């Protein structure tokens, strides 16, 4: 199977949205996805986020969704919001290709750091990141405030 990695374009957004919903099911949190496809289309078109996609033929089989932010200690930073390979394509090295492309993009944009989150129970993801020599911080706690969308 020939897999290619490229920057996402407008026509990829529906596939990215479907991958996000697949990930939410995997993480047992599908009911928490309140963003709509229109939200994704609008956010992508106005530059709120960018993405890389892995595709085999015309089928998008993975994505890395990220955005530019700032580290007060390090400077320019990419935050990897979601990194997904479709379940039926996992274990074939596609995640490694996609992650490497994301890191190359961050370096090309002169980022000094990349960050992301990983669930503490997601052993396959933890092993993947450790294999890539990632630092998995365990001393920082996440904080958040959710705004109702009435």
Q: Catalytic residues, which ones?
A: 129
Q: How far is Cα 55 from Cα 7, in angstroms, rounded to an integer?
A: 11
Residues comprising the chain, all counted: 150
Pairing of strands 4-7, 50-56: antiparallel
Helix (H) or strand (E) holding 60: strand 59-71
**Crossing angle of helices 94-108 and 123-131, rounded to 10°:** 50
- Is 32 in contact with 75 (CB distance < 8 Å)? no
């Amino acid at each position: 199977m020939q897999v290619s990695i490229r920057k996402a374009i407008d026509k990829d957004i529906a596939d990215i949205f479907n991958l996000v919903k697949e990930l939410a099911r995997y993480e047992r949190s599908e009911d928490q996805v309140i963003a709509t496809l229109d939200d994704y289309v609008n956010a992508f078109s106005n530059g709120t986020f960018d993405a890389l996609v892995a595709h085999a033929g015309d089928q998008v089989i993975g994505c890395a969704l990220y955005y530019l932010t700032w580290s007060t200690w390090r400077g320019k930073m990419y935050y990897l919001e979601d990194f997904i390979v479709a379940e039926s394509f996992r274990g074939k090295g596609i995640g490694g290709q996609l992650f490497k492309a994301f890191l190359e993009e961050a370096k090309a944009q002169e980022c000094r750091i990349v960050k992301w989150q990983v669930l503490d129970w997601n052993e396959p993801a933890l092993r993947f990141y450790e294999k890539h020599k990632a630092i998995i911080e365990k001393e920082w706690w996440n904080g958040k405030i959710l705004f109702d969308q009435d």
